[in-house]
A and B are shown apart, each in its own frame.
Chain A
Amino acid sequence: MADKKIAAYICQGCGLGERLDTAQLAKIAKSEGKAAIAKQHEFLCNANGVQMIQNDIDNEGVTHVVLGACSRRAKTDAFNFQNIALMRANLREGVIWVRPDDEDNRETTQEMADDYIRMACAEAKFVDIPESSNEQGLNRTVMVVGGGVTGMTAALETAKAGYNAILVEKTGALGGMAAKLYKSIPQSAPYSTPADSGVADLIAQVNSNDRITVHLNATLNKTSGAPGRFAADIRIESGATFTEQFGAIIQASGFKPYDARKLPEFSFGKTPDVVDQLGLEALAQAANGAPIKRPSDGKEVKSVVFIQCAGQRSEKQGHLSYCSGHCCSTSIKQAMYFKQANPDTDAMVVYTDLRTPGAGGEDFYRNGQQQGITFTKGEARTVTINDGNLTVKFKDLILNEDVDMDTDLVVLATGMMPNSGVDIEATPAKLDENCKDCSNDEKSGAVAPVIQESVLNLDYRQGLDLPQLVTGFTDSHFICFPYETRRTGIYTAGPVRRPMDMLQAQDDACGAAMKAIQVIENSSKGLAAHPRVGDLSFPRFRKEGCTQCKRCTVECPFGAINEDEQGYPQFNESRCRRCGTCMGACPVRVISFANYSIDSVGQQIKAVDMPDEYSEKPRILVLACENDAYPALDMAGMNREQYSAFVRIIPVRCLGSVNTIWITDALNSGYDGIILMGCKKGDDYQCHFVKGSELAHIRMSKIDDTLTTLNLEPARVATYEVAITDMHRVPQLINDMAATVLRCGMSPFKF
């Protein structure tokens, strides 16, 4: 790589020229910032300004460009230079737009701008242009785990896009749960009658597709590697093991039905005439279009009652708290089995909320009513056996009365439980709490709780399977980025991700296949996956300094780092999301990125001109998450909200990348206050790197010791959860800190 050459360009447009002494800024860039070139321009982002910069890059060998202009979020199309490092000193949204335009404030506003130029130049000195590591692999095969509808669809869609797929199914046949269905919920208009599930066709397509390899009776014994270069030991029934190589994984391990035996009040298990929905499918398959027979005596069922939400939507011990979503439509479908075989059969659904959302759902409900299925808003209490018949006791919520109703058959709409493998984050306490169905013996530890079998058997430092939500489904960034699991290159699809019906599962499989082929393409080029897509930087690590403390491997939210035998971290580039949490975690500061490091931020902190203790010009450092807090600060500027001129703001990739050395260094070099602004943490986390903000909060809770050692007030350091909409709040947080500093007095550490 060519020698580093820094050039600074100061824009005079948008009022910068009038409000600031741009000549002074250029001078600072040259003298203090060591920029080889420092130019002012009246309108940097127009064609002429951009050309000026491009000329310097092309002809003067400029490698590092410092722009003293607007925010890094603005004019990105114009300032789109290739193969150079770009620093943006935010003089517009971050300085002149947040300061009053008057003589009194001219000096402090200029000082802000001066510092931002110093900081950008300091950053430039410690930033390299990232290059890929050359450790990438390119294997364009996708591993699909699970041979149900979701898995088969994922494999077929992958193949259709021109990629190969390996399908691993733990049982002896493809088809999964869907193969156990007599018919499925219709997927297209007019949504009036149960449809063929299409499973046989799917199986035939999978078996005849040249791009798909199927392994039945097979499980993943050990999975290792990274996107683009995964490998798995696959064990088959005979006990033999062989290895497959692939570039990405789709986990379509599906669900298991809730164990209805946990609902003794409904007599499941005491009589064969109380079945769950899968049990009813078996009866329907046996009848194959003829009237369904009652298991106990083989008589035709003349009356059937469907009890919705059995053991779900409930906070009772051992019940599922969530709604499995498909069961209302499934009950309608099953009631249609009866009505279509014999319209005189009474079929009643007892529900509290009939949940058939969307366009097709409501049509299906209406069609069910049309076919004579009756619906009663009620709460089912018990099912008892009387003389071979069943009595359902329920409360009719509309007529407001308790009812005993005789019927021939009862179907319990129980829920879905994900096959998500081992809960790697379960603490002993959590296990205990989750194990609501355990007997007291189990809880007291006399009997070990049932150990979940791993699905992926990942050879990862961070555990065998994917992290889970509290409900047991696999974790993802749920709303905006539903496929972004916490293990790069491993995408979950179907009911293992959230409860869903077949139509949604097929869509989901298709989306997961999209992500799988995408990660293969990008990882082969060394490009990061979401959300820093295309980022070529990756963590570099200086082994000599490492103390094998394992904090980086433990804290990595994406399970990217393994450990070798001696406990040294082993980075896996394509598993890494480049959030920098490892860098923030490292107590000896041996982890860094080419373009983001302890120094690239630390030196910015140090570059700020520190007025002395008697100047009445305190300095407040803000480390702001670039995803949410920094845009909020920008928008405060766009809205011309004002905040203290004593603040200096540095965007960080994630609060998780903040190393406490930055805080101690800042305190030691005389900063009077420090604010960390990150995203919401906890179960409803908004942090794009899942754990970053949470980890930062934990680390900062320990900073008090440092403050005590320095004899500084704890109030000088504050950590906040900030939302991108906090346009009014962020200036307030800054001004509050300015007030705190005023109250505590100036830091005595100014040298």
Chain B
Amino acid sequence: MSNTAKYRNDFLKEVEANVEEGEWVKMCMQCGVCAGSCPLGNAWEHTPQKIFMMIRAGKRDEVLSSDAMWMCTSCYNCIVRCPREVPITHIMHGLAHYAKRLGLVPANQPTAKFAQLFWNNLSKRGRINELTLGLGLYFMNGFVEGIKTSIKMQSLGLNMIKTGRMNVMEIFGGHSVKDTSGFHAMLQKAEEIEATRIK
């Protein structure tokens, strides 16, 4: 496979301009301590250090459609150990966010789906509705899967209800922040700012 015209800095510059903490990508020295320190490392196609190299190599599509950055659980092991103090966790989230904006997230990427569910749930009332979020998650991959998962998770749900962690009445809308319209206005403004910041 030929990579002609690659290894130029166009994509690196794009990342620096559009991705949170993206200006740190160039500081990586390819030691790989992040890759080794990631508790979910086995589940990744590309480690952070490799993602950074791919950015430098100009592999735009591969990077942005990778599911690697969606796998980050924000444990911060990599940041703690990085000898260059590269904010790896933030960059990974930044990349995920950028890929999402560009619509390049791989279809059926579960973390991406969950993130969308979470956001949809949260942005409605400013508070998370545990019940609808949980059910949404269970039924994410279709009705049959949802029933199966719900049965499997039954006792957890019951226990949460018992200990007052979840309210069944939440199914009817649930609680919200005090000033819902103010909250929405705030989100609106944030989105506007974001849109001007990112090309």
Contact = CB atoms under 8 A, between A and B. Distances in A.
Interface of A: 303, 346, 348, 354, 365-366, 369-370, 372, 374-377, 391, 396, 398-399, 401, 403-406
Given A303-B8, A346-B9, A348-B7, A404 B57 contact: no
A404 B2 contact: yes
Contacts of A399: 50, 53-54, 57
Contact of A401 (B3, B5, B29): B3
Given A369-B26, A376-B7, A403-B57, 14 more contacts: A346-B9, A369-B27, A372-B9, A374-B7, A375-B29, A375-B30, A376-B56, A376-B57, A377-B30, A399-B54, A401-B3, A404-B3, A405-B4, A405-B7
Contacts of B1: 401
A372 B6 contact: no
Band of interface residues on B: 20 to 34
B62 to A, nearest CB: 10
Interface in B22-60: 26-27, 29-30, 49-50, 53-54, 56-57
A374 B10 CA distance: 12
Nearest to B56: A374
Nearest to B46: A399
Contact of A403 (B3, B26, B27, B29): B3
B30 A374 contact: no
Contacts, number: 55
B30 A398 contact: yes
B72 to A, nearest CB: 20
B28 to A, nearest CB: 8
B27 A366 contact: yes
Contacts of A348: 7
B29 A396 contact: no
Contacts of A369: 26-27, 29
Contacts of A398: 30, 49-50, 53
Contact of B12 (A366, A374, A404): A374
Contacts of A366: 27, 84
A405 B6 contact: yes
Main secondary structure, interface of A, reads strand
A376 B57 CA distance: 9
Q: Which 7 A-B pairs have the closest CB atoms?
A: A346-B9, A405-B7, A398-B53, A403-B3, A374-B56, A404-B4, A346-B8
Contacts of B57: 376, 396, 399, 403
B49 to A, nearest CB: 8
Contacts of A403: 3, 6-7, 57
B26 A372 contact: yes
A398 B7 CA distance: 13
B9 A374 contact: yes
A391 B26 CA distance: 23
A374 to B, nearest CB: 5
Contacts of A377: 30
Nearest to B54: A399
14 contacts: A303-B8, A346-B8, A348-B7, A366-B27, A374-B56, A375-B29, A376-B56, A391-B4, A396-B57, A398-B49, A398-B50, A401-B1, A403-B7, A405-B5
Contacts of A372: 9, 26
B91 to A, nearest CB: 15
B26 A406 contact: no
Contacts of A346: 8-9
Interface core residue of B54, B57, B84 (most chain A CB under 10 Å): B57
A589 B9 CA distance: 75
Nearest to B26: A369
Contacts of B6: 403, 405
A661 to B, nearest CB: 63
Contacts of B12: 374
A401 B54 CA distance: 11
A390 to B, nearest CB: 12
B5 A406 contact: yes
A369 B7 CA distance: 15
Contacts of B8: 303, 346, 405
Contacts of B26: 369-370, 372, 374
Nearest to B2: A404
B3 A405 contact: yes
A718 to B, nearest CB: 51
A370 B24 CA distance: 8
Nearest to A370: B27
A297 B183 CA distance: 60
A356 to B, nearest CB: 11
A171 B108 CA distance: 72
Contacts of B50: 398-399
B4 A406 contact: yes
B99 to A, nearest CB: 19
A405 to B, nearest CB: 5
Contacts of A370: 26-27
B24 to A, nearest CB: 10
Contacts of A375: 29-30
A396 B6 CA distance: 12
A738 to B, nearest CB: 56
Interface core residue of A366, A377, A398 (most chain B CB under 10 Å): A398
Contacts of A365: 29
